[in-house]
Structure 1
Amino acid sequence: MRSFLMYLGALAVIFGLMQFIPTYEKSNPPVEISKEIKVPKEVMAIFKRSCYDCHSNETKWPWYADVAPMSWVVRRDVIQGRKALNFSTWEEYSDTKKQELKKQIFRSVEFAMPLPQYLWLHKDAKLSKEDKEIIRNWASDGKGYIESVIR
């Protein structure tokens, strides 16, 4: 019993010390409406519910984003998400980049996004079959499929 309490105490000390490891500050850069993605309301509602926390400058930072080690994971996911695709700066992308991102969105909504670890705590972000169809229809410019170029 005594050794269990010692291990438990050691874990508590380690957890406490982890809170002092610096991470980048949580931030939401200003959003300029003119640069934000322009999509139909039904698509925007899905994006806001399921994508915007990691893929926009409008992240809703949860309380656990201040508690290590979860803070490290949350902040990493937001940084990588914004780097890959940022709906808040969509209009800054070239037309070619927008088309490539739409192809990636078309493919990723089926199986990869939102990330499983995000869905653990955000059940409402799970994409229904109808949500996926709406997004894929938008991403394919209404065709329902994405043309591939074979090289």
Structure 2
Amino acid sequence: MLKKIIIFLVLVFIIIQFIRPAKNIAARGPQHIEALYTMPDTVKAIMRVACYDCHSDSTRYPWYNQVQPVAWWLNHHISEARGELNFAQFGTYSKQKQVKKLQKTVKAVTKGWMPLDSYLWIHKDAKLSPEQAKMVADWANSTIAQIQ
């Protein structure tokens, strides 16, 4: 009986490998925050490493995204994050919403809420130093002033 259960589970695991979520791979278009507002290269580099995998349409998928059900979980997590804030679609937000999203960004990076700890387990390079968090916050605050 145990052998049949193990065989069944192995077969299910193999079958689900063929059920893959769609990946979000997109170029930076005219609605991307980098196309709309001036962003220093240092801040761009920080954002690309620490933010864009979840909060844009330019996700760099890790190797373990090839294994189901991990890919489903990642896809769900990324979809939720983009639903909250998508830097690739920033230009589609109203000016008021852009300001609110940038204010939340300032708070999240200065308080250390972002990037999430679960993301940092694998992506150690995404951990923001206090100086990097300040650079992102300063840029966001100056962009808020520019929007208003």
TM bin, normalised by shorter chain, reads: 0.7 to 0.9
The CA distance in 1 between the partners of 2:21 and 2:7, in whole Å, is 28
RMSD over aligned CA atoms reads 2.5
In the other structure, the counterpart of 1:27 is: 24
Shift of 1:89: 1.6
**1:47-88 CA-partner distances (Å, limit 9, x unpaired):** 011111111111111221121222122111211121111111
Q: Which moved more, 1:63-72 or 1:114-123?
A: 63-72
Shift of 1:24: 2.6
Q: Which residue of 2 aligns with 1:88?
A: 88
CA distance in structure 2 between the aligned counterparts of 1:71 and 1:92, rounded to whole angstroms? 28
- The unaligned stretches of length 5 or more in structure 1 are 144-151
Q: How far off is 1:27 after superposition?
A: 2.6
CA distance in 1, matches of 2:31, 2:143: 23
The worse-fitting range, judged by mean Cα deviation, of 131-140 and 9-18 is: 9-18
Instruction: Provide the C-alpha distance between the structure 2 equivalents of 1:50 and 1:7, rounded to a whole number of angstroms.
Output: 42
Q: Which has the larger radius of gyration?
A: 1
**1:99 match:** 99
1:104-126 CA-to-partner distances (Å, cap 9, x unmatched) read: 10111122211111111111011
- 1:128 aligned partner: 129
**Higher RCO (CA < 8 A, seq sep 6+):** 2
TM-score normalized by structure 2? 0.78
Extract unaligned runs of 5+ from structure 2: none
One-letter code of the match for 1:36?
H
3-state DSSP class of the match of 1:99? helix
Alignment of 1:1-40 (within 5 A): 12-13=10-11, 15-20=13-18, 22-32=19-29, 34-37=30-33, 38=37, 39-40=39-40
Give 1:140 shift: 2.3
Please list every run of at least 4 consecutive aligned residues from structure 1 whose deviation after the TM superposition is greater than 2 angstroms. 5-20, 139-143
Structural mapping, 1:100-115, within 5 Å: 100-109=100-109, 110-115=111-116
Count of aligned positions: 138
Identity value in percent: 34
